[in-house]
Chains A and B, each alone.
Chain A
Amino acid sequence: MDAPHLSPEEIALWAEGLLPARRAIHLADCARCRETAERERRLFVALARVERLTPSREFADGVMATVNSPQGSGRTPES
């Protein structure tokens, strides 16, 4: 009996390299799942290129100046 098609979660796991081999082997025989998986992998590669962005050089000093000011250290709890 043929193995069932990969679920969306399994496809995502495959794109992250985390799908167990006993399920990943299904891709060798199923063109439909292979195409879906390749599309998922292309998106993951594009997302992996999204980098953290850096605030201005003055940002940290601005935060410290605010928390050290009488107005900035109100110590009101955050829920």
Chain B
Amino acid sequence: MRATATSTGGSGTIAAKDRPSDASGASDQELAARASGGDEAAFRELLRRYERPVFSLVYRMVRDRALAEDLAQETFVKVFNGLASYRREFKFSSWIFKIANNAAIDHLRRRELDTLSLDGPTDAPTRGNRTGQVRQLPHRGENPLEELEARELGGAIEQAIGRLRPEYRACILLRHVEGYPYEQIAEMLELPLGTVKTYIHRARNELRAYLGDAHP
């Protein structure tokens, strides 16, 4: 996409076809088709619709704000570059969350490999290094970004979500924060429907245990 006009925030003019008002009422599918044809305003509208959901998912998966922005940006660039091959029989939301989740999971796997290679092999992996979710939240006051992370992810439910293995965490976030049905989550994560239901059921049990509300 080569911008032919300065878009929001710039000092230039905006071509009529690129005005946000032309895009805001369109469906995701229409916007994707227009963006694929080089319409910057259409892509900007998709970005506006999905920046918070995508960032939220990735941030809660990797639990590092700056890294989450990098991975979310990588997601949008991949979406942009893949628009021509996007299959419109699938929901756009399924496609973009699939790319976002893959970016987060790939990162967690790389980090896990790095951790294992630094520490050497272990006979009995801990839950943390097995699941790639070892990063601890900083205490308040270390620097402004870490303070923000502690505020955003430091609550009891956020900490409990952070303790889930990544596969469970993605399912719970897509179900309870984004509100997607099981069937669409299965499509996003490329998992059988029964597996998604099992993951969500187990994740809820683990969350209750972490929150001290399990069966006595």
Q: How far is B203's CA from A46's CA once the two chains are assembled, in angstroms?
A: 14
How many of B's residues come within 8 Å of A, CB to CB?
48
Is B3 in contact with chain A by the CB < 8 A criterion? Answer: yes
Asked if B78 and A78 sit within 8 Å, CB to CB, the answer is: yes
Q: Which chain A residues (2-47) contact chain B, with CB distance < 8 Å? A: 8-9, 12, 36, 39-40, 42-44, 46-47
Asked if A43 and B207 sit within 8 Å, CB to CB, the answer is: yes
Q: How far is B173's CA from A66's CA once the two chains are assembled, in angstroms?
A: 28
Is B1 in contact with chain A by the CB < 8 A criterion? Answer: yes
Q: How far is B46's CA from A60's CA once the two chains are assembled, in angstroms?
A: 11
Q: Which chain B residues (154-168) contact chain A, with CB distance < 8 Å? A: 156-158, 161
Chain B positions near chain A (C-beta within 8 angstroms): 1-3, 7, 9, 40, 43-44, 47-48, 51-53, 55-56, 59-60, 68-69, 72-73, 76-82, 84-85, 99, 152, 156-158, 161, 172-173, 176-177, 197, 201, 204, 207-208, 211, 213, 215
Chain A positions near chain B (C-beta within 8 angstroms): 8-9, 12, 36, 39-40, 42-44, 46-56, 59-64, 66-68, 72-78
A-B pairs with beta carbons under 8 Å apart, 14 shown: A40-B204, A47-B157, A52-B56, A53-B56, A53-B59, A63-B47, A64-B44, A64-B47, A67-B43, A67-B76, A67-B81, A68-B2, A68-B40, A72-B80
